[in-house]
């Protein structure tokens, strides 16, 4: 962020909406998506759908401010993400994705306590209660390295969903979950997230059937 930028800000007091205008991303000469214009509002849920490898995760990462666009703009409230302090963007969002790793030498409780040092969790629910809600109370003393893939996914969902932030980004959120895990996922969304801006990247309708709007990535090729 340049020191002489007139549009740069240091804080985001309250995220209300995110607007993409003619957004596009390419790698070398290949366009992943182009001319994407959508508005995302806090209190609503959106799905980004499309075949594997079509660019869903790439668009999600651009919304998160972790990937710069090749053309167009993404605006949080009234500031372009490229002009916002990345630390302030980080404080406004939580993400669960298959490519994000857990610290496997920690227990789930230790991991959530560590996570909370950087991003506060919902004050009304203790970490012990979170572990009980996601069905891991009996594994409280076990290192994450010994968890099944489904147990690890529950921890990933917990650190994102219970973070006290207005923006929740979910990339294939039910990866490695069974039918009970899918039911837990929908319960967590209903009970703890309906006041947030939710964006789900998925081609599994069971992961996004609660969303208000579907954004088809193939419409922006």
pLDDT score for 13: 65
List, run by run, the mean pLDDT of 10-residue segments along the chain (221 residues).
41 82 95 97 97 95 93 91 84 94 97 95 96 96 96 98 97 97 98 96 97 97 91
What b-and-e string marks burial along 135-157, b requiring 16 or more CB atoms within 10 Å of the CB? ebeebeeeebeebeeebbbbbbb
pLDDT score for 85: 83
- Is the pTM above the cut of 0.85? yes
Residue 174, classified by CB atoms within 10 Å of its CB into exposed (0-12), middle (13-18) or buried (19+), is: buried
Read out DSSP for 60-113? HHHHTTSS--SEEEEEETTEEGGGB-HHHHHHHEEEE-TTSPP-TTSBHHHHHH
Domain annotation for the chain: domains and CATH numbers: 17-220 (3.40.50.300)
pLDDT score for 88: 86
pLDDT score for 6: 43
CB contact at 8 A, 91 and 68: no
Rg of the chain on CA atoms, in Å: 18
């Amino acid at each position: 962020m340049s020191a002489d930028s007139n549009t740069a800000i240091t804080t985001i007091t309250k995220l209300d909406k995110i607007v993409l205008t003619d957004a596009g991303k390419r790698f070398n000469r290949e366009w992943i998506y182009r001319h994407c214009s959508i508005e995302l509002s806090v209190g609503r849920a959106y799905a980004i759908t499309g075949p594997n490898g079509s660019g869903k995760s790439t668009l999600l990462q651009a919304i998160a401010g972790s990937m710069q666009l090749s053309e167009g703009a993404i605006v949080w409230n009234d500031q372009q993400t490229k002009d916002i302090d990345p630390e302030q963007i980080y404080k406004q969002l939580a993400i669960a994705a298959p490519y994000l790793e857990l610290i496997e030498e920690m227990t789930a409780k230790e991991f959530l306590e560590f996570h909370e040092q950087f991003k506060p969790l919902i004050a009304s629910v203790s970490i012990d209660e979170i572990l009980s809600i996601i069905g891991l109370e009996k594994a409280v003393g076990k290192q994450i390295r010994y968890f099944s893939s489904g147990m690890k996914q529950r921890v990933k969902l917990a650190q994102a969903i219970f973070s006290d932030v207005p923006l929740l980004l979910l990339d294939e959120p039910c990866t490695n979950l069974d039918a009970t895990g899918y039911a837990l996922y929908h319960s967590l969304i209903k009970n703890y997230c309906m006041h947030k801006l939710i964006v789900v990247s998925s081609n599994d309708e069971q992961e996004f059937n609660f969303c208000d709007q579907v954004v088809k990535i193939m419409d922006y090729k």
